[in-house]
A and B are shown apart, each in its own frame.
Chain A
Amino acid sequence: MSDSTGPASGPPRGTGPLLKREARLAWGLLFPTLAIVSAVVVLPLLAIFWISFKPIGLADLRPPAPVVRESLRGSDDSLRLQYRVRNSSQSEPITGVTLSDSLPDSLTVLTADPRCTFEGADFTCDLGDLDGGGRDEVEIFVALQGDEDAAEEAAEGTDPRMTGRSTNILTNFEFTLENFDRIFSGDEFWGVLGVTIFYTVFGTLGALIFGLFAAMLLNKEFRGQGILRGLYLFPYVAPVIAVAFAWIILFDPFSGSANALLIQMGVTTSSINFFGERPLALIMVTVFEIWRYFPLSFLFILARMQSIDTDMYEAADMDGASPFQKFWYLSLPQLLGILSVLFLLRFIWTFNKFDDIFLLTGGNAGTRTLTVNVYEQAFAISNIGAGAAVAVVVFCCLVLFSIFFFRYVSQEEGL
């Protein structure tokens, strides 16, 4: 900034000390948030990419380890301490397995497994490598002094210690495309994708349309408006688990009120299994989604409606516009911005939705969306790798949506 060749030319450029201090303070203030968010959002995201290329099941989360059982067997001459060792994993080997324990005072060693070395009462046995699912046995013949039961208790009272090295499947560098191959092969994936798209598109559109309708109802002053507005927000505010179970009980095929009501009104003669039949279950979960999220769009649209200038409507009245014309030519264009933002945001969020379908149908009866599939693969089928692969697909879709969102919409409404 300081110019040594001549007088200062113009105002200082670049980053001054004040600005530097401000930036430093900003990073200081942001640091805790950045640290915790990256620990719990960015790391898991990286982890999920990593895991999706790994052949890993739920059982592999525990690394393979040697497991030992100790017992005092036989009597008199054949009295021996027996250690049975096995590998907890069926597939992964463990190298450098050692077993160490100490003998109680009442037992003295006669002959021992050649792999064992003694130091007083303590001993260590070097067992070498254990293959996946492999077993081994160490026997130490002993002489007994005193009561056998007491000796047995004393011998088994000291826990043998095991050591061994194994490669953890989570951290080694073995990769596979099997997970992706598995989720993309077969018709299942495209079925799941179709269900997701139906659920997302109709859930979002329905919530918007019903929200618009509700907002128009409440966009005028009358007594009880506040109460109604509060009431209409209930579905959104209540815990999802409470309302999902209320719906399940309401639409129960055997003793649900909805079925009883429909039969009484003569709409149907036999009860309908709302959450168990194939096309109907998907429609019902979509209706649930609309029911639960129309309050949100209603709130946003109402807020926007109340900020529309009333002068415009007065002018339209002077010109003789009819109520429908006013809605179509004045209100709707004003609401288009918020409607499109809501559509995209709700689209993304409905796409990401997991709890609702999981609680209502568990993904059965043709309601399995991508997010439910993540859970299904990882926990129901115990294939964490495949679950992670589906999660990667979900995340890629999300990135596509967000690019679209930031490119076309966010500038308009200042989000």
Chain B
Amino acid sequence: MSRLRFGYVTGPVLGALWLFVLATTLAVLMSFATGDPFRPAGLWSLLWGAALGLGLVALHLGKWTVSLATAAAFILLAVIGIGPVASGETASTSWKLVGSGALGLAAGWSLQVILGHLPGLGTLTRHEFEEAVIRFLTGFGYIFFTAIVAIPFYVMVMTSLKNQSELIQNPLDFTIDLSQGWGLFRSYVELFADFNFGNYLWTSFYVSVLTVFLTLAFSIPGAYAVARLRFRGRAAFSRSILLIYMVPMIVLALPIYIAFSMTGLRNTIFGIVLIYPVTTIPVALYMLQGYFRGLPAEVEEAGLMDGLSRLAVIWKITLPLSLPALASVSLYVFMIAWNEFLLAFMLLDDPSKFTLTRGIASLNSSEIPRQHLMAGAVVATVPIMALFLGLERFMTKGLTAGSVKG
């Protein structure tokens, strides 16, 4: 480690790695955005990155000077053909130059942030060295995580807006032909018109809402009893909640399938509404009992002293106090019910009774074009995302409180 702690080593090494990361990012970005072939030029990007890093450590220039100078240099290199981003023959020159310029600006500015605090080419202290490495890793982390999360969702949305021949022709072209106007959304129109997706959406919605209400109706009294009341077997009970919470659904799904087949509950929405709350009650119990324990018992005792019964105390004191927790639990349960796939897949066969996830599974066939499948995926994802982003505070709390479950 200590051999690396020289300005003339740290600067070029981090610079080379960083420019390679940036060049790859930019190449992917430009390929997706324009459909033209771009790729990072491995050796050139490492070489120019090392040069840039060395220069930055040695010369100590201002942020803007570095950025503009790098941008100009990269455009020049691109014209000669030895820039950090290479492009195929079909790529348009203007995009190539714009891309190189943008890469230069970004690289100059960010490398200045990563390496700017290094004193010079000589020996570095451990602090200075590790600080530079951490800044590099931080930058890399932001790019990496954003890319791995965003790309699948981006591909999902864009695929749903294209048609089969466009997809086969160039799988990297995610440009949107805005001249089509509403024609862009034809997959969605077909889903709702021909594939009955309006119905599935409604079924999923009311099944999820019913699940939330049923879950709360069962778990609030149960959680209160476990959290507040003294009775024999409370500790064992509290533990068995967590244990039940860990039983895999596939183990239960088999007997449930058999029982439902024999009683005629298979293939009915009633059966689904019956079974969904049971999968969510242990989660809700676990989350709510934790919250109820945190509430001050004194307030409830005051209510009892003033002559309220236990049930009235729950209704008039505990529940109003725990509204935020109830919101979190409801959201979380709604999410589980909305995303549930296994039971819907096993228990529903009749297309008129499908939930959204079951409907999407039925789109997965070679006869149905894949933009329909992706449009279906978007239809299922957007409501839960909107709900999540709108109520993020509750959702995050709910997730941390109870979601050890997958």
Contact = CB atoms under 8 A, between A and B. Distances in A.
Q: Give the interface centre of B38, B229, B277, B380 by most chain A CB atoms within 10 Å.
A: B229
Nearest to A265: B39
Interface stretch (B112-120, B190-198, B396-404): B396-404
Contacts of A228: 142, 146
B107 interface: no
A236 B219 CA distance: 24
B58 interface: no
B127 A323 contact: yes
Contacts of A348: 246
A322 interface: yes
A234 B154 CA distance: 12
Contacts of B150: 231
Interface in A9-49: 19, 22-23, 25-27, 29-30, 32-34, 36-37, 39-41, 43-45, 47-48
A99 B248 CA distance: 46
B375 to A, nearest CB: 11
B295 interface: no
Nearest to B151: A250
Interface in A244-295: 245-247, 249-250, 252, 254-257, 259-261, 264-266, 291, 293
A26 B399 contact: no
Contact of B239 (A234, A324, A406): A406
Contacts of B127: 322-323
A88 interface: no
Interface residues of A, number: 99
A162 B202 CA distance: 43
A249 B374 contact: yes
B100 interface: no
Contacts of B237: 30
A398 B384 contact: no
Contact of A264 (B31, B275, B360, B384): B31
Interface string B46-58: 0000000000000
Interface in B200-250: 218-219, 221-222, 224-226, 229-232, 234, 237, 239, 242-244, 246-250
B189 to A, nearest CB: 19
Contact of B171 (A256, A345, A384): A256
A45 B251 contact: yes
A387 interface: yes
B281 A37 contact: yes
B148 A245 contact: no
A193 interface: no
Given A61-B262, A264-B39, A230 B171 contact: no
A22 B231 contact: yes
Interface in B377-400: 377-378, 380-381, 384-385, 388-389, 392, 395-396, 399-400
Contact of A352 (B250, B374, B385, B395): B250
B342 interface: yes
Nearest to B274: A40
B250 A234 contact: no
Given A345-B404, A378-B254, A235 B360 contact: no
A354 B231 contact: no
Contact of A43 (B145, B226, B255): B255
B404 to A, nearest CB: 4
Contacts of A315: none
A232 B251 contact: no
A22 B130 CA distance: 60
Contact of A234 (B88, B149, B170, B254): B149
Contact of A387 (B254, B275, B278, B285): B254
Q: Give the interface centre of B149, B151, B232, B342 by most chain A CB atoms within 10 Å.
A: B149
Contact of B380 (A170, A233, A241, A345): A241
B380 A352 contact: no
A323 B221 contact: no
B278 A40 contact: yes
A226 interface: yes
Interface stretch (B6-14, B60-68, B178-186, B333-341): B333-341
A67 interface: no
A237 interface: yes
B247 A255 contact: no
B192 to A, nearest CB: 17
A310 B232 CA distance: 42
A25 B155 CA distance: 54
Nearest to A266: B39
Contact of A233 (B32, B239, B342, B399): B399
Interface string B255-299: 110110110000000000001011001100100000000000000
B95 to A, nearest CB: 15
A30 B406 contact: no
A374 B256 CA distance: 14
A355 to B, nearest CB: 5
A318 to B, nearest CB: 13
B315 interface: no
A351 B251 CA distance: 12
A353 interface: yes
B77 interface: no
Nearest to A294: B145
Contact of A240 (B248, B282, B341): B341
Given A30-B237, A37-B281, A322-B126, A394 B28 contact: no
A371 interface: yes
A179 interface: no
A213 interface: yes
Nearest to A242: B377
A37 B385 contact: no
B323 interface: no
B248 A398 contact: yes
B380 A239 contact: yes
B141 A217 contact: yes
Given A40-B275, A352-B248, A246 B258 contact: no
B402 to A, nearest CB: 11
B138 interface: yes
Given A238-B385, A261-B31, A246 B153 contact: yes
B349 to A, nearest CB: 13
Contact of A354 (B229, B232, B250, B384): B250
B377 A22 contact: no
A336 interface: no
Interface in A362-384: 371, 374-375, 378, 384
B130 A324 contact: yes
Nearest to A303: B400
Nearest to A224: B142
Contact of B229 (A23, A245, A401): A23
Given A26-B229, A249-B159, A324-B134, 16 more contacts: A19-B230, A22-B229, A33-B285, A36-B277, A37-B278, A44-B256, A48-B251, A238-B339, A246-B152, A246-B155, A257-B155, A257-B171, A260-B171, A293-B406, A354-B250, A398-B247
9 pairs of A and B residues whose beta carbons are closest in the complex: A352-B248, A242-B377, A44-B255, A23-B231, A29-B221, A33-B222, A26-B229, A47-B255, A40-B278
11 contacts: A23-B232, A32-B221, A44-B252, A45-B252, A213-B145, A239-B356, A257-B32, A264-B38, A296-B406, A352-B249, A374-B254
